[in-house]
A and B are shown apart, each in its own frame.
Chain A
Amino acid sequence: MPVLTSHTPAPDGAPRPSAAPGSAGAPVDLGPAVALSCRECGERFPLSPIFACEACFGPLEIAYDLPTGDPGALRSAIEAGPHSIWRYAPLLPVPADVATKPNLHPGGTPLVRADRLAAALGHGGELYVKDDSGNPTHSFKDRVVANAVEAARAFGFTTLSCSSTGNLAGAVGAAAARAGLRSCVFIPHDLEQGKVVMAAVYGGELVGIEGTYDDVNRFCSELIGDPAGEGWGFVNVNLRPYYAEGSKTLAFEIAEQLGWRLPDQLVVPIASGSQLTKIDKGIKELIATGLVEDKPYKIFGAQAEGCSPVSQAYKAGHDVVRPVKPATIAKSLAIGNPADGPYVLDIARRTGGAVEDVTDPQIVDAIKLLARTEGIFAETAGGVTVGVTRKLIETGQLDPELTTVVLNTGDGLKTLDAVAGTTGPTAIIRPNLDAFREAGLA
């Protein structure tokens, strides 16, 4: 079967031995995953808990032995699978029996036909919201963490860790509890209370770092190279190649929910940019396996103006991203130094999409618009994608007559503070009918 990677293999063909801890020992069973491949230079490495290329520091991603043969049979097998991301196990770095193991079984979230939102936005074509607030810990992070847990098991890690802007902390805590692993996660000390409580309740260690997310991330990157971090699986550091693959399941589900067809346009939030790049990778794999018909599609990236390094680079015509210091209510997207930013730029330009940003007040307005038109209460990242969709339509960058999918990646209950000051009871009255009438409610 062919091995699909984004780049050609290294000239010598063979995977390069790795000096990283955990790389020695018997080959691991991660289903169709066969190697790690550098996205920059194509160098290949055996499956192991490493994340950056020894040759050029480029990001490593999974190379697969993907299913070939009758796409119809593969579609049928997927449709007969569990109502979770594990129905796509033949396309993920997980063992074939993954669904029988203790994990949170994320995915299977609704693709909501959003006609009332479409009318409000002046979108005449089909408009959908992929509402990932329905995952076990109420954000899309359950998808990626579930993949990382399988890698952690395969490499023999007993502690699950991460740097987090909040949603990931909860997802790691919950997944570790279910899997019987220890967890120790690191967050900026000033996160929204809802996310802190949600991360803490699962009983793992939760450490607030005095700094921004980028400071937390840097700390974790250093910890991983220190004996103190030995034996730890950091889902978004040394397990990042495996973890990131979970975002492909958003593309898989959207395509299946549309009747095995690709949308024309997708609007995806950008934090590190990993999710957007993996949605693109997922679409390529859907096409390569024949699960969907090959057709043009556009991917649009969405950022908050207060943390918009990718959007700024896109608008300036740059292919590198200059880091910024974040200042926005959209804390789940507040990554000032986005690791996958350059790839997001490549994808937006290659597919004919764009990268756009909206202000904090526009984010709040968009959260309320989505809630009032579709009954979906999104976290601030969802406000960013809906707000950016509106702006893309207004500026003519997104075609409102095509089929568009907008991602909501988390639950509004996690970011109540963002809208708490702008909404509330419409009236407070005495408990009698006269008061009801006096208030003009009859």
Chain B
Amino acid sequence: MSVTVRIPTILRTYTGGQAEVSADGGTLRDVLADLERNHQGISARVLDDAGKLRRFVNVYVNDDDVRFAEGLDTPTPDGAGISIIPAVAGGC
């Protein structure tokens, strides 16, 4: 399944400056693996050594925070929009 991934500024060195890239996969885990195949090094920025989402990364699948869904096992339907966003923003 093909999805669109929005890349935050601090990861665009891995995507040649592109703010949005395509990837394939039926779950977020699969999508990140596919991203890694095409943009080597990017998954280590999003996942920690244990393979979990880093605590200061928020990932949304079609506007839903995956921490409210199934985390890395969240389904990514065909045509889904995925956003990777630094968590450290807002408030005071």
Contact = CB atoms under 8 A, between A and B. Distances in A.
Interface of A: 19-21, 40, 50-60, 140-141, 144, 163, 165, 168, 213-214, 216-218, 220-222, 224-226, 236-237, 240, 243-244, 247, 271-275, 320, 322-323, 335, 337-340, 342
A138 B54 CA distance: 37
Interface string B2-35: 0000111110110000010000000000000000
A224 B9 contact: yes
13 contacts: A20-B10, A51-B88, A52-B8, A52-B10, A56-B45, A56-B56, A58-B88, A222-B6, A225-B9, A272-B90, A337-B87, A340-B91, A342-B55
Given A221-B85, A337-B87, A339-B89, A55 B19 contact: no
A339 B8 contact: no
Contact of A222 (B10, B68, B85, B87): B85
A67 B69 CA distance: 48
Contacts of A50: 9-10
A52 B90 contact: no
Given A237-B90, A272-B90, A335-B91, A58 B85 contact: no
Nearest to A165: B91
Contacts of A214: 65, 90
A236 B46 CA distance: 22
Given A226-B19, A275-B92, A337 B65 contact: yes
Given A222-B6, A222-B83, A335-B91, 13 more contacts: A19-B12, A20-B10, A50-B10, A52-B89, A56-B45, A221-B89, A222-B85, A224-B9, A225-B19, A236-B91, A247-B92, A274-B92, A337-B87
B1 interface: no
Nearest to A226: B19
A21 B19 CA distance: 14
A275 B88 CA distance: 13
Contacts of A59: 56, 88
A20 B8 CA distance: 10
Q: Is the interface of A mostly helix, strand, loop or mixed?
A: loop
B10 A54 contact: yes
Identify the 9 closest CB pairs spanning chains A and B, nearest first: A272-B91, A52-B86, A217-B90, A59-B88, A57-B56, A225-B9, A339-B88, A237-B89, A221-B85
Contacts of B90: 163, 213-214, 216-217, 220-221, 236-237, 272, 335, 339
A21 B12 CA distance: 12
B85 to A, nearest CB: 5
Nearest to A273: B91
Contacts of A338: 91
Given A19-B13, A221-B86, A225-B19, A271 B91 contact: yes
Contact of B92 (A21, A144, A322): A144
Contact of A323 (B7, B10, B65): B65
Determine which residue in B46, B58, B67, B90 has the highest number of CB atoms from chain A within 10 A of its CB, and name it. B90
Contacts of B45: 54-57
